[in-house]
Amino acid sequence: MAGALEGITVIDVGQLVQGPQAAALLADMGAEVIKVELPGVGDLSRWIFLSETDRRSAYWEGCNRGKKAVTIDLRTPDGAKIFKRLVGEADVLVSNFKNGTLDDWGLGYDVLRRLNPGLVWAAGSAFGPRGPDADREGADLAGQCAGGLVSTIGADGSAPSPVGVTIADHISSQHLASGILAALVSRARTGEGQKVEVSLLGGQIWAQASEFTHYLMSGEVPGRANLGHPLLRGVYGIFETADGWIGIIGVPPSARDAFFIALDHPELALDPRYQGLLASRDDMRELHVALGPVFRTRTTQAWCEALRAMGVRYAPVHDYAQAAADEGVWANGYLQEVAGANGEPLRVVGTPISMSGTPIRPAAEAPALGAHTDEVLSALGYSAEELAGFRRDGVI
């Protein structure tokens, strides 16, 4: 079955995660994605190696599978000309250079739109396209810090900490993909492309919409997570068990008595502070102190079985190995096994979207630097002699 975006051509000049992951999602959905990189260097993610001795890159593979790789030096006059011809036949351009970079190379929105009025010109940045920091460079951590996320991690009195993944990049990449898809729907009605812009900072604020709205409504900064959530009361948080940690995601009224009896605190079932979601932060600290020792008397698995029987929402705290061993992760395709180029099975991260009519299929591997340069440029009409000349001059 054809993918939802079959027939759509995407040019990806992104770096690292924000732009490339958005383009990878479009590739999973069936688009032809052509990755354009600097000759001899490539996307900087290629250089984030697994180790000193293993020169594979999880960042490169994770965000560039299923793409065609072309090398063009966009800074050169000939490279810019080649790129304009390539974009002239494309539907989408994805980038996440510092604001103004493509304009400096003569490849900004206004220039390319004149060549291709239907082009969706999609760009990600660190701090947004306007304002005093518009031209400032940044990366994932900049979004986490400036957007307030770092200030919420951990407990009162501890040092602030970033999330241990490139979460600002990932969230922004999903916004970029969403904007592109909406722009393609609009183009189907009007025939006109448009500019789509997202940022790490904007993505972090949107991801914390409830918490920011709390601040805007009350003037109160929600504060640190403290093993739970600063705005959510009741039994909501993580607790240490005999061999790990478990998250308790609220206790419904129908399970409240059984829950507190099982934790040897039946009196809490009648405590008015825990009848709803209005307990104070001091109440929550007191509750954690009371329940903590009880949770440490049984294993995570034992608590999972008991809580499931009670009808209490829960989740064990998994590391990556434990999550990858979860049967449901594979059943839903969140991790998948696909055939590699040599026919050997490879385990990859799947796409977290399921579509019944146009299934999403992740590719196995990302391409070698410049692997499809001749193929793609020959299809644009360049001769073998022209390609040889470009290669001799360092253009491709």
- State yes or no: is 319 an active-site residue: no
Question: Could you report how far apart the first and last alpha carbons of the chain are, in Å?
Answer: 35
Separation between Cα atoms, residue 264 and residue 260, nearest integer Å: 6
Burial, 396: exposed, middle or buried (Cβ in 10 Å; 0-12, 13-18, 19+)?
buried
Separation between Cα atoms, residue 12 and residue 70, nearest integer Å: 10
Place of tokens 């969140």: 334
Given CA atoms 130, 133, 137, 141 in this order, what sign does their dihedral have? negative
CB 298 within 8 Å of CB 262: no
314 strand-pairing partners: 248
Burial, 154: exposed, middle or buried (Cβ in 10 Å; 0-12, 13-18, 19+)?
middle
Place of tokens 């991260």: 349
Phi, psi for residue 149 in degrees, rounded to 5: -60, -45
What six digits make up the tokens of 386? Answer: 């022209």
- Angle formed by the axes of helices 200-207 and 209-218, nearest 10°: 70
3-state helix, strand, coil in the chain (%, to 5): 40, 15, 45
Count of Cβ atoms closer than 10 Å to residue 39 Cβ: 19
Separation between Cα atoms, residue 386 and residue 262, nearest integer Å: 77
- Helical H runs in the chain? 18-28, 58-64, 77-88, 101-104, 109-115, 140-146, 167-190, 200-207, 209-218, 253-262, 281-295, 300-310, 320-324, 327-331, 373-379, 384-392
Separation between Cα atoms, residue 79 and residue 174, nearest integer Å: 29
Q: Which of 43, 169, 257, 271 is catalytic?
A: 169
Is the backbone of residue 355 left (phi > 0), alpha (psi -120 to 50) or beta?
beta
Active centre residues (catalytic): 169
